[in-house]
Amino acid sequence: MSETTEPNVGSFTLGGPLTAEPAATIDVPEHAEWPLPNGFAWVFPGEGNQGGLVRPVIMADGFNLGRSKLDVLYHGLESGYPFISELRRRGRDVILLGFEERSASILDNARAAEAAIHRAAAEQQGDFPMAVGGFSMGGIVTRYALARMEAQRVDHRTALYFSYDSPHRGASIPVGVQAFSHFIPFPNNFARQMSSPAACQMLWQHYDAETGKIDVSPLRTEFLDALRQVGGWPSRPRKIAVANGRGDGVGLPEVKPGEVALRVDRIYPGTTFYTQAQGDDVTAAFLNRRFPKAEKTVPTSGFPELDGAPGGTLHTYEILAGAMEKLGGEADLRHKDVCFVPSVSAAAIRDVDHQNDLYAPVHDLDPYESELDDFLCSSTTTAHTAITEELCTWIMDRLPD
């Protein structure tokens, strides 16, 4: 180890089940590939549709760093519940949409979605209406793409839009974790991920590495303005969504506000991350490094209790603890999972700014509060984008007839 720098943290990034690479080789069935602007797609014909596309279902990849790994996405969509296989068994042609850079601007990646819709329409036999949507960020990309096509009076031939745990009202990465990515004294993929355009556009609150301030990113403000300019949502298709979080207002009862979530020693000694609590001047994290010597307290004011809120979870602190341990550090991990996409955000029914809204029992609210036509929250808390039979069958039962 250098005497002037901390050990390299490696290339870890934060990601959910659909980005987790399995140890074994991934077996992907035969498929066609489409090159697209800013992306590409893999096409899997439905049973009995070998002569061409008949009932297209376009499903967009979610957020991470780098080019989409559609083999990994395919594996994730077949794990837990065989989503793709069941769609194909029902005669649906599955089009997996990937991006050249998943962390690029949502506005740019929407070009790939628009191109995929055009290509599917051009190759389709007959005029059966399409279904278009995506997972996490993919649901936001396709939402914007369809809305922009309508604003430009382009026929997208889509009867159903769906999103799978997409952060319509914003996502949450603990700001202490965001700050730590930039506290590491050399360039790293973790920091690149946290400061990427897509992260800035989706996160409810963002840590600015240059100013040290925590606020809504200007890139998010610009994106929301662009979304409003095209109407916010596509108006022609029916709009549905599923949430990996519960809808009864119950989150993660074991994640109490203001507790230690993770403490690191030996490497970044004494660095401590706390679960988000309400109040002013609340310590979210204390960061300490040896070379070059520095320490930093990350405070928040006016935040709700985000980490334990109802929503799809991310192994945020488990991933961070694992990275520290691989470098020879000691990690006292108290809470491996925290809320990433609140249920109210995935259901587009309340904002995440206030405690009462964040913990609202979604199923008891007037459904007309939602910007969606219909939605389903998971009966149990599940990981962000975890593929479950409950959520997948609900979507498939609502596909165009």
Q: Is residue 182 part of a domain?
A: no
| CATH code at position 236 | 3.40.50.1820
Extract the tokens encoding 303. 């935040």
* Helices and strands (H and E) in the chain: how many: 12, 17
Does residue 10 carry a pLDDT above 60?
A: no
pLDDT tens-place string over residues 351-399: 999 999 999 999 999 999 999 999 999 999 999 999 999 999 999 999 9
pLDDT tens-place string over residues 158-206: 999 999 999 999 999 999 999 999 999 888 999 999 999 999 999 999 9
What was the pLDDT predicted at 202? Answer: 98
Q: Is residue 52 part of a domain?
A: yes
Which residues, in sequence order, are bridge partners of residue 131? 57, 160
Residue identified by tokens 């990515």 is: 181
Q: Is residue 40 part of a domain?
A: yes
Which H or E run contains 74?
Answer: helix 70-78
Q: Is residue 120 part of a domain?
A: yes
Q: Are 203 and 170 in contact (CB under 8 A)?
A: yes
What was the pLDDT predicted at 178? Answer: 97
What was the pLDDT predicted at 134? Answer: 98
Cα 104 to Cα 94: distance, rounded to the nearest angstrom: 24
pLDDT tens-place string over residues 217-232: 999 999 999 999 999 9
Domain count, the chain: 1
Mean pLDDT of 129-153: 98
Cα 346 to Cα 341: distance, rounded to the nearest angstrom: 7
Higher pLDDT, 135 or 327: 135
Extract the tokens encoding 250. 């119950």
φ, ψ for residue 396 (rounded to 5)?
-65, -35
What was the pLDDT predicted at 169? Answer: 98
Q: Is residue 213 part of a domain?
A: no
Higher pLDDT, 79 or 52: 79
What was the pLDDT predicted at 1? Answer: 38
pLDDT tens-place string over residues 62-103: 999 999 999 999 999 999 899 999 999 999 999 999 999 999
Q: What percent of the chain has pLDDT over 90?
A: 89
pLDDT tens-place string over residues 268-303: 999 999 999 999 999 999 999 998 999 999 999 999
Domain containing residue 47:
17-169+222-250+363-396
Higher pLDDT, 328 or 289: 289
What was the pLDDT predicted at 144? Answer: 98
* pLDDT-based confidence at residue 8 (cuts at 50, 70, 90): low
Q: Which of 87, 97, 98 is nearest to 55 (CA)?
A: 87
Q: Is residue 266 part of a domain?
A: no
Give the least confident one: 142-151, 183-192, 339-348. Answer: 183-192
Which residues, in sequence order, are bridge partners of residue 370? none
User: What is the biggest distance separating any 2 CA atoms in the chain, rounded to whole angstroms?
Assistant: 67
Residue 239, number of CB atoms within 10 A of its CB: 22
Q: Is residue 273 part of a domain?
A: no
Residue identified by tokens 């036999």 is: 125
Give the least confident one: 12-16, 36-40, 211-215, 235-239. Answer: 12-16
Cα 63 to Cα 328: distance, rounded to the nearest angstrom: 29
pLDDT tens-place string over residues 97-126: 999 999 999 999 999 999 999 999 999 999
Cα 350 to Cα 68: distance, rounded to the nearest angstrom: 31
Cα 367 to Cα 252: distance, rounded to the nearest angstrom: 24
What was the pLDDT predicted at 11? Answer: 61
Q: Are 385 and 165 in contact (CB under 8 A)?
A: yes
Which residues, in sequence order, are bridge partners of residue 95? 43, 58
What was the pLDDT predicted at 3? Answer: 41
Mean pLDDT of 4-30: 76
Q: Are 382 and 341 in contact (CB under 8 A)?
A: no
Cα 157 to Cα 150: distance, rounded to the nearest angstrom: 10
Does residue 59 carry a pLDDT above 90?
A: yes
What was the pLDDT predicted at 9? Answer: 52
- The sign of the dihedral angle between the CA atoms of 55, 58, 59, 65 is positive
Does residue 4 carry a pLDDT above 50?
A: no
Q: Is residue 181 part of a domain?
A: no
Single-letter amino acid code for the residue at 65: L
HSE, side-chain direction, 13 A CA sphere, residue 262? 29
Mean pLDDT of 223-243: 98
